[in-house]
Amino acid sequence: MINQKPRVRFAPSPTGYLHIGGLRTALYNYLFAKNTGGQFVLRIEDTDRNRFVEGATEQLIDVLKFIGLEDFEGPGNEGDFGPYIQSERLEIYHDHANQLIENGHAYRCFCSQERLLNLREEQQKQKLPQVKYDKHCLYLSDEVKKQKFESGESFVVRLNIRPGIKVIFNDIVRDRVEFDRDTIDDQVLIKSDGFPTYHLANVVDDHLMKITHVIRGEEWLTSTPKHVILYEAFGWELPKFAHLPLLLNPDKSKLSKRQGDVAVEDYLAKGYLKEALINFVALLGWSAGEQKDFYTLNELIQKFTLERVHKAGAVFNVEKLSWLNAEHIRAKSIDELLNYVKQELPNTKYKNGNYPDAYLKSAIESMKERLNFVTDIFEKSFYYFEPPTSYDEAIVAKRWKERSAELLLKLAEAFEMIDEPTKENFEFALHTVAEKNEVGNGQLIHPLRLAISGIGVGPGVYDIVLTIGKDETIRRIKSAVETIKFE
C-alpha cells in the first residue's frame, strides 16, 4: 500500500435515519479523504435481515447528499469496486468463507439453538469469565461433517480462533491496542440464512475495496481484534485503524435517543442549517487546536487530520449547535437567506401574504443579527408580515406618555413630506419633530417602535420604518394612536 492514495469508507447499516454519530463518522472519513486527495467510499451494510427497513438506504443517501457529502464512490456513483450494497455481494462472502473453511481457519457448525443455549447456561453456571462456543463441530469427524453438509442440515460458518499471542494493533487515535486472544469467541461468519455477519462482510469488503484507513466509532473497537484475526487468516495486509471517541450526553452517559434527538433528519427539520450541523459535528471529537469554533466545510477539509482526533468522549451540547447555527446564518448572504425564508413561508400562517423579494430582503437585512433560526424571522419580527394587532402592555405602561399620541401624529405628518425614503431622511424628520416640540428623541423613538411593531425590542427603528415603508408606517401610527390610551 506504499504511496497509495487513501481510500476510506462510511459503512452504515441503514436503520431508517442517519444518527448524529453516523454523520460524524461519515464526515471524518470525508474530510480525511478530501484533505489527503483520497477517495471517500459509501458502502451499505445491510446484511442483517432482521433490521431491514424499506427505503432506508435511499433515505440515507439523500441525507448525505443534502448535507453536502455527495462526492462518494458508492451506490449510484459506481466506481471500480462495486456493488457497494452488501446484500448484492453474497456470493463474494460465500467464496471467502469457503476459502477459510478449506484452509482450516473456519468451520461449519451444525449445533442446534438448544445445544448452544444449554452450553451457555452451563458455562454461566460454572462462572466462566467468557461464554464461548466449545468448538464441538470443529472436532466432528470428516465423515460426519460431510454427511451433515450433504444432507442439507442447517449450519453457520464460524471463525476458528486458535489460542495464541495477544492480538495487537495500532490505532491512530488510541495508539497501541491489545486484546487477549482467549477472550474471543469463534465468531459466526455466515449465518444460517446464508447472509454474512458484519465481521466477515466488513473485512472482505474493506480488503476488496482497497480501504486503507478504517475510521469508525469507538463502539466498534471490540470488533477490531476479530477483524485482525480475519485479516491474518486471509493473509491480507491490515488497514490503518482510527476509532473515534464516543458521543456523550451532557451527563456523560452514551448519547441516546432517550435524552433527545439523535437523527440528523430531526435537526434539519427543526431548522438547523446543514453548515451548522457539519461544523458542530466536526468538533465532536476533533479540534484544529485554535481559538475558534466557526468552520466552513472547506476550512474543515483543509485543517482535518486524524492525529488531532481526541481520545476522550465528546459531549453533545445542543446550545453550542444553536450558537453555531446563528453564526452560520450571519455568514450567509441576504440572497441565500431569502431562499430559506421563501422556502419556509408556505409553512407559516403568512403563506397567503404577498411579500416581494426586495421587501423580504430588507426584513432579513434588519433581522440577520438577531436570528438563531431562519424561521425566527416569522416570530421575532412578525410585524413584517402583518401589522400589530395588540401592543405590549408593559411597554405601553413604560413608554407611552401623555404627549405620545400628539407627537406621533406630528411625526406622521413629517414622514408624509419625505420624498426619498432613506433611513437618514426618516431619522432627520424624527429629530426635527423632537427639536421643534422640545422633547428628547426617545420620546418619539419608543412610541414609534411600539406603534409599528407592537413590541419593545427588535432591530433599529429606522430599519423597520424603511422596510415597511412610509405609507405603512403612517397607517400604523394612526392606528396605534386610536388604540393606545394614556393612563
Using CB under 6 A as the criterion, which residues of the chain lie in contact with ligand GLU when the complex forms? Answer: 11-13, 45, 198, 202, 216, 220
First to last CA, the chain: 84
- When the beta carbons of 81 and 107 are compared against ligand GLU, the nearer one is 81
- When the beta carbons of 31 and 480 are compared against ligand GLU, the nearer one is 31
- When the beta carbons of 197 and 375 are compared against ligand GLU, the nearer one is 197
- When the beta carbons of 197 and 443 are compared against ligand GLU, the nearer one is 197
Secondary structure class of 157 (helix, strand, coil): strand
C-alpha to C-alpha distance for 262 and 264, rounded to whole angstroms: 6
Residues 6+ apart with CB under 8 A from 404: 443, 447, 484, 486
Burial class (CB in 10 A: 0-12, 13-18, 19+), 379: exposed
- When the beta carbons of 45 and 186 are compared against ligand GLU, the nearer one is 45
| Minimum gap (Å) between residue 220 Cβ and ligand GLU | 5
C-alpha to C-alpha distance for 36 and 172, rounded to whole angstroms: 16
At 130, list the grid cell. 467468557
Q: Are 411 and 456 in contact (CB under 8 A)?
A: no
Spot the catalytic one: 257, 292, 351, 485.
257
User: Any idea which residue has 449465518 for its cell?
Assistant: 191
- When the beta carbons of 55 and 442 are compared against ligand GLU, the nearer one is 55
- When the beta carbons of 193 and 435 are compared against ligand GLU, the nearer one is 193
C-alpha to C-alpha distance for 181 and 224, rounded to whole angstroms: 12
Q: Are 319 and 253 in contact (CB under 8 A)?
A: no
Residue whose C-alpha is closest to residue 22's, from 33, 31, 32, 13 = 13
| Minimum gap (Å) between residue 321 Cβ and ligand GLU | 22
65 is annotated as an active-site residue? no
**240-244 and 314-315: which strand pairing?**
unpaired
| Minimum gap (Å) between residue 159 Cβ and ligand GLU | 16
Length of the chain equals 487
254-261 long-range contacts (CB < 8 A, ≥24 apart) are: 255/20, 255/21, 255/316, 260/316, 260/318
Cα dihedral 452, 457, 461, 463, rounded to 10, equals -100
Q: Please calculate the CA angle 233-218-85 and round it to the nearest 5 degrees.
A: 60
At 151, list the grid cell. 444432507
| Minimum gap (Å) between residue 129 Cβ and ligand GLU | 26
Q: Are 227 and 201 in contact (CB under 8 A)?
A: no
User: Looking at the annotation, which residues are catalytic?
Assistant: 257
